[in-house]
């Protein structure tokens, strides 16, 4: 099936022994990843923190390829939070240049892989060059039908919720929506992730067990999965292990059983 969908067949993942054990009927509709531990990985290797981010970008490409091979409907990654601006300017500068360069390099291949990209967060506060590139990427891939790949940059969930609330209030004020129609669905429509299913699986690497202001509304019923592995050491194999684990979870959504 994926041979039909993707020009470049990402065989690497399909050949993994763990892949054969995966129940593909029990994959998450929307997987979110907090890619943590780049700095600690670099320190452990005696490298600068920036080298950790470069290695993290390499890992991201492998995981996206895995998501493509697995035909995951949606993947959202936390690339830069609204709080990350507090880091030293050289690090912030490096990360922004990394986003620009990697995106520039990867646009055509992602397009060939039928990926549909979206950037979420306060994109209008990024440099004009990066904004232009994110727009170009979204435009180029807008008709693709493969993995919905959301990249959160300058993103904070509380900020997103407040922006969505303002949008909703405007719609009510302008008479497009009546107050009675303010519900989960109309609120969803005002989020940056509008149209993407709720997060059902949230992965965090790097050993910390918190959600750090990521997709708080969307993750209301998400299954959480943590690993001590730092993001640059995260592998497609570990990703498939995590997905296997997801398949075994009993999801009750507040009810008594999921049968």
Q: State the nearest-atom distance from the C-beta of 33 to ligand FPP, in Å.
A: 10
Catalytically annotated residue among 84, 159, 188, 213: 84
56 binds ligand FPP (CB under 6 A): yes
Q: State the nearest-atom distance from the C-beta of 187 to ligand FPP, in Å.
A: 27
d(CA 23, CA 21) in angstroms, rounded, equals: 6
95 binds ligand FPP (CB under 6 A): yes
Spatial CA neighbour of 98 closest among 61, 64, 139: 61
Q: Is the dihedral of CA 178, 183, 186, 190 positive or negative?
A: positive
With beta carbons less than 8 A apart as the criterion, state whether 53 and 94 touch: yes
Q: State the nearest-atom distance from the C-beta of 103 to ligand FPP, in Å.
A: 7
* C-beta nearest to ligand FPP: residue: 39
Q: State the nearest-atom distance from the C-beta of 172 to ligand FPP, in Å.
A: 35
37 binds ligand FPP (CB under 6 A): yes
Pick 35 or 243: Cβ nearer ligand FPP: 35
Pick 87 or 244: Cβ nearer ligand FPP: 87
98 binds ligand FPP (CB under 6 A): yes
Spatial CA neighbour of 32 closest among 62, 61, 1, 74: 74
With beta carbons less than 8 A apart as the criterion, state whether 238 and 229 touch: yes
Pick 99 or 225: Cβ nearer ligand FPP: 99
163-222 residues near ligand FPP, rule: CB under 6 A: 206
110 binds ligand FPP (CB under 6 A): no
Annotated catalytic residue 15: no
Cβ neighbours for 121, distance < 8 A, ≥ 6 positions apart: 80, 82, 152, 153, 154, 155, 156, 159, 160, 192
d(CA 59, CA 52) in angstroms, rounded, equals: 10
* Tokens encoding 242: 């995590």
151 binds ligand FPP (CB under 6 A): yes
Q: What is the DSSP letter of 144?
A: -
d(CA 120, CA 242) in angstroms, rounded, equals: 25
Annotated catalytic residue 143: no
Footprint on this chain of ligand FPP (rule: CB under 6 A): 35-40, 53, 56-57, 60, 79-80, 84, 95, 98-99, 102, 151, 206, 231
């Amino acid at each position: 099936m994926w041979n039909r969908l993707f020009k470049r067949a990402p065989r690497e993942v399909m050949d993994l022994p763990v892949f054969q054990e995966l129940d593909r009927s029990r994959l998450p509709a929307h997987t979110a990843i907090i890619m943590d531990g780049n700095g600690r990985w670099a320190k452990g290797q005696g490298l600068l923190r920036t080298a950790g981010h470069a290695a993290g970008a390499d890992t991201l490409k492998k995981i996206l390829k895995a998501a493509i091979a697995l035909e995951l409907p949606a993947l959202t990654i936390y690339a830069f939070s609204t709080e990350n601006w507090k880091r030293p300017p050289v690090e912030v500068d490096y990360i922004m240049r990394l986003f620009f360069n990697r995106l520039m390099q990867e646009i055509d291949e992602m397009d060939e892989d039928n990926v549909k990209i979206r950037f979420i967060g306060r994109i209008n506060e990024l440099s004009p060059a990066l904004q232009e590139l994110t727009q170009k990427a979204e435009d180029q891939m807008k008709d693709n039908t493969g993995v919905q790949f959301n990249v959160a940059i300058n993103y904070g969930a509380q900020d997103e919720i407040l922006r969505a609330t303002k949008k909703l209030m405007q719609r009510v004020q302008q008479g497009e929506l009546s107050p009675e129609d303010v519900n989960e669905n109309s609120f969803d429509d005002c989020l940056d992730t509008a149209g993407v299913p709720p997060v059902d699986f949230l992965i965090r690497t790097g050993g910390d067990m918190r959600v750090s202001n990521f997709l708080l509304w969307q993750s209301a019923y998400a299954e959480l999965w943590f690993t001590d592995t730092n993001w640059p050491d995260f592998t497609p194999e570990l990703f498939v292990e995590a997905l296997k684990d997801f398949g075994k979870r009993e999801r009750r959504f507040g009810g008594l059983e999921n049968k």
